[in-house]
Structure 1
């Protein structure tokens, strides 16, 4: 399966490396060219035990790469994971501009993806955000209907710094 991962911060980088290790072809997307360059050199843009070696191995095998271009990552992708940051606005609610931008990018480039594409949100969002912002943004940008032409789901992340690889492969029961 080909997976596009939007956001190469902590969650996105760990998810990209682990999904590649599970046999998927993964292309990470980030607006930061330094992160993209590090991944493509087989280096980790974040500090996490075991991650540099895993990234190096997956890049060497051709299972993992990165780009700043959404269209490149979306080419023939079956799934898109949105793992962009949602920093606190200062009032306890998350800033969702990066999620909105990623959903717009996915929608605009979905025509180059697989026949039926599934978008998975892993970024931290408040209840109701899928219905109020994510789904309408994807539908408007793609011209497709969620549930008919395009799949959408939320998969919360439970990665603890220092044990994220273990947490990814053996997540807590939810």
Structure 2
């Protein structure tokens, strides 16, 4: 955790503790979940917790544009064994931008979470980078730790799960 995490009254979610533990403290450790699949992404959230000495304004602008494009068109995210292999927005591959932004963990997932709040659905604006959006019913996955690079959440409301076929 960083100083701002404990300097005011704020309750973090279990997902935040998961992210802190696995993404920050155990950088080389695989996460305790396994995910492979295709997700339709309605919105993304981006967070950079430790700002670099020399800010990359071009990268920040590219991520803001990506947030807007996903909110407008949705996106297709493909994950294989916890690694993002494709992220297409309006049929344009954007994985290079994700890899550039993600930091030391690269395209490996750092989070898998389930949202359960149907009540906020009418109020969600996916063009706004709001942490409240994470609570919507469905799933979200994320990459990056927010310190060595951006933490990027991919929001998939209304996801339907089906188990993988037996091998």
Q: What is the TM-score of this pair, normalised by structure 1?
A: 0.24
Whichever structure has more strand as a proportion of its residues is: 2
TM-score of the superposition, structure 2-length normalised? Answer: 0.25
Give the structure, 1 or 2, with the largest relative contact order (CA under 8 Å, sep 6 or more). 2
Higher helix share: 1
